[in-house]
Amino acid sequence: MEHQFRTIIEPFRIKVVEPLGITTQAERRVALEAAHWNPFLLHAETILIDLLTDSGTGAMSAAQWAALMIGDETYAGSRSFFALERTVREITGKKHVIPAHQGRASEHILFSVLINRPGLVVPANSHFDTTRANVEHFGGEALDLLPPEHQDPRTDLPFKGDIDLVRLAAVLRDRPGQVPCVMMTVTNNRGGGQPVSLANLHAVRALCTEHGVPLLLDAARYAENAWFIKVREQGQAQRTVREIAKEMFSLCDGFTMSAKKDGLVNIGGLLCVDDDALAEECRTRLILTEGFPTYGGLAGRDLEALAVGLVEALDEDYQAYRHASIRYLFDRLDQMGIPMMRPPGGHAVYVDAGSLLPHIPPHEYPGLALTNALFLAGGVRGVEVGTVMFGQPDPNGGPDICAPIELVRLTFPRRTYTQSHVDYLVEVLAAVQRDADSLRGLRVVKQNKVLRAFSAWFEPLT
């Protein structure tokens, strides 16, 4: 008889290794001071485990590295483009496949076409920062419609990426002719990497059809979303992730994708639509900024690696392992009483730094204090997703206008770290938790007006 084992293993073995920089606490303090207490300004060699982002930071497979070698660098009509086009059509069913150098480039092209007059609004479950920025750049309004219970970190609901259908219906009804598209982010990064259910997507599709409005996906993490549907949505367990992904894509009129996530590549993006006229306009814009439509700012070899990565992301052993490794960290931290966004998302664990460090008020950046403490204690880099990232300096010089919640995202690069790295991470978090009372907030020394998180200088408060 065949045995069943409980341990979900990494479904790969390691062929190439990259040494990690092991540093002392004293060295890390020097590095953090030199980075002005902003982890974005750290140099990579000082970081042991980098959980800043899952974007472009994953490991490619042997098949992807092999595919690089057959990349066709023909300027126009590259063989590699047609290989990618075939794969994308098979997975998504979309007619027009337009490559771009990364997600935000495809967003820029799309919204440069769709937002063609004043007064337009783009509803979404939550816009990722770059989608919002692109909608606003062209004069549109980016409207997030997540129900309040999906924003509460404590509610343990299976599909906290679902949009508020009542409010969406109201927008579509009250603003006829002003909605160029509805955008659904799968999984919903801004909302904690939470998935969108098929039921919600069907309902959004029905509303969009009723009002004659296109539905687009931000499909950066489409395969992780499909996996969540398989394991959490009623009646889906017997279907393959690939079938579920196909259904997700069949419900939309097009999508943008940062291929740096579920494309399993280090660089790349896609813009895919069904509509011929829209595709034509997008291709014309693309020539201005990205290059020719058969390479879209990428090398031919990048297109080949992406074609392989998109398929590998649908592998169910891979998805089972990926979600198990995130759940593993979540469960260990939960046992330790570390407050987190529930349930764990598809690409990250979000620690609720505001609750962990209640003595640090939001305008003294508890998320940044925690991020820095993790780096000092163990060389781990997470990312603050709180008032530094989403708050705003008070125009009258008072305390910042704060974000609704102070989180630290511990983001998992794909196929990169092993269980012992996660065990180490748990120890680092335990050490920081023990010293939590002694942690202090920070103040801004220097900042830009926009996107300050990436460049601001800080100083610890004593």
Q: Note the residues at the interface with ligand F0G (CB under 6 A).
A: 53, 55, 102-104, 128, 130, 185, 189, 218, 220, 258, 260, 269
Q: Which is nearer to ligand F0G, 54 or 85 (CB)?
A: 54
Contacts of 339 (CB under 8 A, 6+ apart): 153, 351, 352, 355, 356
Report the residue number, 23 or 102, with the smaller CB distance to ligand F0G: 102
- The residue (of 360 and 456) whose beta carbon lies closer to ligand F0G is 456
> Which residue lies nearer to ligand F0G by CB, 98 or 439?
98
Tell me how far, at minimum, the Cβ of 190 lies from ligand F0G, in Å. 8
Place of tokens 């063989």: 79
Secondary structure letter of residue 360 according to DSSP: S
Tell me the closest approach of the beta carbon of residue 132 to ligand F0G, in angstroms: 10
State the nearest-atom distance from the C-beta of 7 to ligand F0G, in Å. Answer: 29
CA distances from 215 to 206, 224, 248, 349 (A): 10, 20, 11, 29
CA distances from 314 to 236, 408, 439 (A): 15, 28, 42
User: Rounded to an integer, what distance in angstroms lies between the CA atom of residue 42 and that of residue 56?
Assistant: 18
Cβ 379 to ligand F0G shortest distance, Å? 20
- Quick one: 23 or 185, whose CB is closer to ligand F0G? 185
Q: Say if CB 191 and CB 148 are below 8 A apart.
A: no
Cis amide bond preceding 343, omega within 30: yes
**Least Å distance between CB 24 and ligand F0G?**
29
Cβ 295 to ligand F0G, closest distance in Å?
17
Helix (H) or strand (E) holding 335: helix 316-335
Could you tell me which of 343, 337, 341, 359 has the C-alpha nearest to residue 430?
337
| Shortest Cβ 29–ligand F0G spacing (Å) | 26
In the bound state, the residue with its beta carbon closest to ligand F0G is 103
Nearer to ligand F0G, 55 or 87 (CB): 55
Q: Alpha-carbon distance 394 to 363, whole Å?
A: 10
Q: Least separation, in Å, of the C-beta of 279 and ligand F0G?
A: 20
Q: 38 near 457, Cβ under 8 Å?
A: yes
Coil, helix or strand for 336? coil
Q: How does DSSP assign 310-322, residue by residue? A: HHHTT-HHHHHHH
Q: Which is nearer to ligand F0G, 102 or 151 (CB)?
A: 102
AA letter at 4: Q
| CB 52 to ligand F0G: min, Å | 7
Cβ atoms 395, 301 nearer than 8 A? no
